[in-house]
Structure 1
């Protein structure tokens, strides 16, 4: 870590800000899980955050996560928050507790088959591309209801939550509100939304988990 950055203080500050945002929206702090985005962070930084009592971490790539966490899984919940290719489904099902990036039927088919084969059921979130950005993964909002129904009724998948990454150049609030509406009409209670720059806004719009990287780990380099 850089000499001027205190990870324990940073985590305490983030948790305090989550608590304030939750209280302001009539919620309790325990409703919101802080997911530490450890992707591409050197292990010494991750270990420092672990020492603060943080237990939930988010990773972008299956292979990177397996290499980093193979010997450190005790008491830790790992979430896959990056795109999942079908050729990595076997490893993802075996290794992750939560997969937040279910976004197409081909992946749903692969996950259903592998989960049955392994007898293991990581919790699943559908990723919604609220901004309909071509470069981003996720089902578009107009197709979200149908996709969720297909996952449930055709492939027997339990969809625990929804996830989104709003366009960087737009106010995040409307995107969070849209995700919450899709969740509500599909009977889904979990919302993974909000990152370092907008997690307080996400909490006010109903986020049950926020994915925080730079604000928690400090500047890279």
Structure 2
């Protein structure tokens, strides 16, 4: 497996679903990956990456972005309010807006900074107690609240429960997004991204299938 294989599978999934070629953005999840592996993928021409932690991204991406212009990094992991300012300065998009307090913090910071990354609201489609995200029944109200704060909400994100059929969650997320006039759907990972594309995913997240198994200290 590798970058070219994943891109070929995405292209086939788009074609099978009758989707516009290139309408799915591949986020290469580079968390806990050695810099040499990340650089190898950059050298292949890929320019969209995802990180789970602000601190790890701080230590890795400013240098890479200086050397590889046009590189975007998205935050796909949970965000603490006290790290919101740095995250808003580091990332092109944040996929884990998951609570009103964070939305209010980001709105205030956006005024101070003068800009704001694209934002995806994390939806807890499985209503799992241990998982972050807005409950499906509360998403409409939260989208309206974020819009009142002038936040740039681009779409919704979900991580389906591991023991459930992901298509049910992809379908639910797509329906919620459609009724709220949101075009972005951040859903699908290594094991199910082709299925996610068939339900309209605009951003899929793939890590070890591109870089190899993660290296933990």
Given that 1:180 and 1:206 are in contact with CA atoms closer than 8 Å, whether structure 2 keeps it comes out as: yes
Question: Shift of the alpha carbon at 1:206?
Answer: 0.3
Q: Does 1:82 align with 2:77?
A: yes
Separation in 1, partners of 2:24, 2:85: 29
Separation in 1, partners of 2:176, 2:81: 26
Separation in 2, partners of 1:111, 1:124: 10
- Structure 1 residues without counterparts, runs of 5 or longer: 1-8
1:106 corresponding residue in structure 2:
101
2:36 corresponding residue in structure 1:
44
Given that 1:166 and 1:172 are in contact with CA atoms closer than 8 Å, whether structure 2 keeps it comes out as: yes
Q: Does 1:137 align with 2:129?
A: no
Given that 1:131 and 1:175 are in contact with CA atoms closer than 8 Å, whether structure 2 keeps it comes out as: yes
Question: Shift of the alpha carbon at 1:35?
Answer: 0.4
Question: Shift of the alpha carbon at 1:100?
Answer: 0.7
Which of 56, 67, 72 matches 1:64?
56
Which of 189, 193, 200 matches 1:199?
193
Question: Shift of the alpha carbon at 1:219?
Answer: 2.0
Separation in 2, partners of 1:167, 1:51: 34
Question: What is the SS of the residue equivalent to 1:117?
Answer: helix
Separation in 1, partners of 2:146, 2:115: 17
Question: Shift of the alpha carbon at 1:12?
Answer: 1.1
Given that 1:19 and 1:28 are in contact with CA atoms closer than 8 Å, whether structure 2 keeps it comes out as: no
Runs of 4+ in 1 over 3 A off after TM superposition: none
Separation in 2, partners of 1:138, 1:220: 25
Separation in 2, partners of 1:85, 1:217: 27
Q: Aligned runs of 1:117-156 on 2, under 5 Å?
A: 117-153=112-148, 155-156=149-150
1:184 corresponding residue in structure 2:
178
Separation in 1, partners of 2:10, 2:64: 27
Separation in 2, partners of 1:169, 1:101: 22
1:19 corresponding residue in structure 2:
11
- Structure 2 residues without counterparts, runs of 5 or longer: none
Separation in 1, partners of 2:118, 2:171: 23
Provide the TM-score with structure 1 as the length reference: 0.93
Separation in 2, partners of 1:44, 1:149: 43
Provide the TM-score with structure 2 as the length reference: 0.95
Question: What is the SS of the residue equivalent to 1:109?
Answer: helix
Instruction: Give me the CA root mean square deviation.
Output: 1.0
Question: Shift of the alpha carbon at 1:142?
Answer: 0.7
Question: Shift of the alpha carbon at 1:204?
Answer: 0.4
Which of 67, 85, 96 matches 2:91?
96
Question: Shift of the alpha carbon at 1:164?
Answer: 0.5
